[in-house]
Structures are given as structure tokens and as C-alpha cells.
Amino acid sequence: MTSISPLRPRKSRVLTTVMALYLIYTLLPLAWLLINMTKTQSALFSTPGLSFGGPFALFDNIGETFTYDNGIFFRWLGNTLLYVVAGAGGATILATAAGYGLAKYRFPGRRAVFAVVLGAIAIPGTALAVPTFLLFSKLGLTNTPLAIIIPSLISPFGLYLIWVYAGDAIPDELLEAARIDGAGEIRIFFTVTLRLLVPGIVTVTLFAVVSTWNNYFLPLIMLSEPKWYPLTVGLNQWNAQAAGAGARPIFHLVITGSVLTIVPLIVAFLLMQRFWQSGLSAGSVKQ
């Protein structure tokens, strides 16, 4: 007879059902997105929201999204990839290094660093937008990719996460042993630390990827030419076409474009998932 222990529990149908209720709550708005992605622009205005209707236009919509306005969607996709790889990648590197430094080196002023970071992000970003714009304008950076990438290199949450994680996951003896063997600090970072930090780094990367992917406000201020827009700003422009004299609503492209925007994030999530299996709990029977 198997004893039921926390290590080898029986799957609970009750729990699954309760969680499924939350799942429905989560999926309802997304269902709206997916259903309306299949409608033509005029069907959007004439059919009820949660049911299919009109001709099935999913593939037409996808095609039109990619070809509208000389295929600018591709350009926006490329821009977003650039900003994410450079921005999220850079943010992960900076946060990992800084978090490790704060966790494992007891230098004076380290508590102040985090307090200052937290204090700075406590100030609402919208009122900092104009000063940032003016500053970047003086540096000649507005309307360039750097205006988007540089601000996204700061991930305060990433900093905190790595700080805590490094504190827990990297034993001081390991570092000492490496130092006794004669390794320099940078060397230790690359050979010892990074490997131990992998699950934390993965989490930080995932959050950084999502937030730079969906970065909207600062690009809106910094960029005046569509050729540098990320997808979020581009879709917003398509959305705004619905209003005013000469309006040509293209809500069907906005919806389709939005779903297409989410897909790479899902892929990124699935790819990074497996890293959560490794680390300290590798080989455990927990999922």
C-alpha cells in the first residue's frame, strides 16, 4: 500500500476543478481576442462579440496584417526583437552582476544602493518622461533605437531577485575555495556564480523579455517615425486610425496583430520553462 506523503501526493480533482474556475476567468478576455481574430472588419461591427460570425477571415487577417502599409508590421516585429534582445539581454546581465555584487560583497553603501533604486522607481515615470526626452534629445538619441534600449537596461525587480537568489544559492565557502585556488573575482563570477544562478537568471530574463516586449510609454514619447516603432506603438497607431476625419478603422488588424504579438512570448515562456526544473531541486519528484 502506498503511503501518501508530500513527496508523492495523489493528484486532486477538487483542486484541479477549483483552479479551472480561475482558468476560465483568465481565458474569457483571451477568448474574445481569439474569436474576433477570425472576423473581417465589418463583421466585427455587426456580429456579437463572443460568437463567431461573418466569413472566416483568420488567414486573410494574418496575411493583411503582414502586408498592410508595405509590410510595416515586419519592420515593427524586427524592431521589437532588436529592443528585446538588446534590452532584456542587457538588463539581465546588469541585474545579475549587480545583484551578485550586492549579495556577496559586503562593501559600505550597498544597502544605500538598493534604497536609492527603490526610491527612484517610486517616482511616477510619466512625469519623468519629458525630462528624459529632453535629456536624450540633447544627446541626440531621440528617434533612435538607443532611446528605447538604454532605459530598458534597468530592471529593479531583476536586481532584487538576483540579490536574494545569490544570497541563498551561492555558498560563501565555494567562493572562498575558488579564491584560495587563485581565481580572480571576475573569473569566479563566470565559472562558479553563473551556473548556480541559472534558475534566477531565467526568471529575470523572462520578466525582462515580457516587459521590454510590451514597452509602450517611453517608445511612444521617444520615437516620432514609424520605422523605429516597436509592435506596441505600431498597433496603437493602427488603433487610432479609427477616429476622426478620414477615419479608416482597422480593428481587425489590431486584434490580429495583438495576438501575433503574444505568440513569441508564449514561445519564450515555453522555452524557458524547463530551466525551472534544474537548479537546487533537480531530480526531485515535485514538478
Report in angstroms how near the CB of residue 121 gets to another protein at its nearest: 6
Identity of the residue numbered 42:
S
Residue 51 in the binding site for another protein (CB under 8 A): no
Residues numbered 57 to 76 that lie near another protein (CB under 8 A) are: none
Q: Which residue has cell 532584456? A: 88
Residues numbered 172 to 201 that lie near another protein (CB under 8 A) are: 172-173, 176, 179, 185-186, 189, 199-200
**What gap in Å lies between CA 206 and CA 92, rounded to an integer?**
9
Residue 106 in the binding site for another protein (CB under 8 A): yes
Question: Which one among 66, 110, 192, 194 touches another protein, defined by CB under 8 A?
Answer: 110
**What gap in Å lies between CA 73 and CA 226, rounded to an integer?**
10
If the CB atoms of residues 191 and 224 are measured against another protein, the closer one turns out to be: 224
Residues numbered 135 to 164 that lie near another protein (CB under 8 A) are: 135, 137-138, 142-143, 150-151, 153-154, 157, 159-161, 164
Question: Which one among 59, 107, 180, 181 touches another protein, defined by CB under 8 A?
Answer: 107
Report in angstroms how near the CB of residue 166 gets to another protein at its nearest: 10
b/e per residue 159-194 (b: at least 16 CB within 10 A): bbbbbebbeebbeeeebeebeeeebeeeebbeebbe
> In this structure, what C-alpha cell is assigned to residue 129?
518622461
Which residues does 42 contact at the CB level (< 8 Å), separation at least 6? 54
Residue 12 carries which DSSP code? P
Site map (CB under 8 A) of another protein, residues 204-243, x = contact = --xx--x--xx-x---xx--xxx----xx--xxx-xxxxx
Cα angle value 257/261/266 (rounded, 5°): 140
Residue 98 in the binding site for another protein (CB under 8 A): yes
Residue 77 in the binding site for another protein (CB under 8 A): no
Residue 21 in the binding site for another protein (CB under 8 A): no
**What gap in Å lies between CA 54 and CA 47, rounded to an integer?**
7
Residue 89 in the binding site for another protein (CB under 8 A): no
Residue 255 in the binding site for another protein (CB under 8 A): yes
Question: Which one among 48, 180, 181, 182 touches another protein, defined by CB under 8 A?
Answer: 48
Cβ pair 152, 222 in contact under 8 A? no
Report in angstroms how near the CB of residue 83 gets to another protein at its nearest: 14
Question: Which one among 2, 5, 21, 180 touches another protein, defined by CB under 8 A?
Answer: 5
Cβ pair 241, 247 in contact under 8 A? yes
Question: Which one among 1, 21, 180, 285 touches another protein, defined by CB under 8 A?
Answer: 285
- The residue among 233, 60, 247, 223 whose CA lies nearest residue 145 is 223
